[in-house]
Amino acid sequence: MTAVKICGLMTVAAVTAAAKAGADYIGFVLTPSKRQVSLAQAANLRKMAGNAKVVGVFLEPTAVFIQEAIAVIGLDFVQIHGALPSDLLLERPLIKARSLMEPPVSNAVYAELIDAPTPGSGKVVDWSAITAGAHPLWLAGGLTAANVSEAIRIVKPAVVDVSSGVETNGSKDSNKIIQFITTVQQLTKEEQ
């Protein structure tokens, strides 16, 4: 069964739509970005997450900032793009993001996220170039309700991770969130 992560959530409506539709994970971007939320905003939005696990998304953060985010928000997972802090001692499972141009990650991670070179850009990753590694594979990069079934069939990821693929005019679209999750759930039922 492939799980779903809806990332870059910034509003109560989007978090509520994701939670009610059955998202397994929701992601809050905690680094400068058009989708960035503050720690306080993320802590408030977390209250709407229902049963979804909460992922904090970071770009080359300090270990101190990660620990602060875990404490303030109550993160279940930490997702890091770019370099890991040298003094990183995590209390939560680590999802290490990389593009296909970067080497596979070390053994000290929970999962490996394959994304486009510019996360959140909507650029589709070359699914045929992805090979299974030592860690559970999470797939991002240009996923939409229209292409996620094909991506799952080719890559067989543990988790599909979407952000721009559930947006309309740069804002999360509750209908697209529901459609994406429903598409993945239907495919999973067909494969059982």
Where in the sequence numbering do the catalytic residues fall?
7, 115
DSSP labels for 103-135? Answer: PPP-SS-SEEEE--SSTTS-PPP-GGG----SS
Alpha-carbon dihedral sign for residues 48, 71, 29, 180: negative
Q: How far apart, in whole angstroms, are the C-alpha atoms of residue 23 and residue 55?
A: 12
Strands 111-114 and 159-162: unpaired
Pairing between β-strand 137-139 and β-strand 111-114 as defined by DSSP bridges: parallel
Instruction: Answer whether 151's CB lies under 8 Å from 165's CB.
Output: no
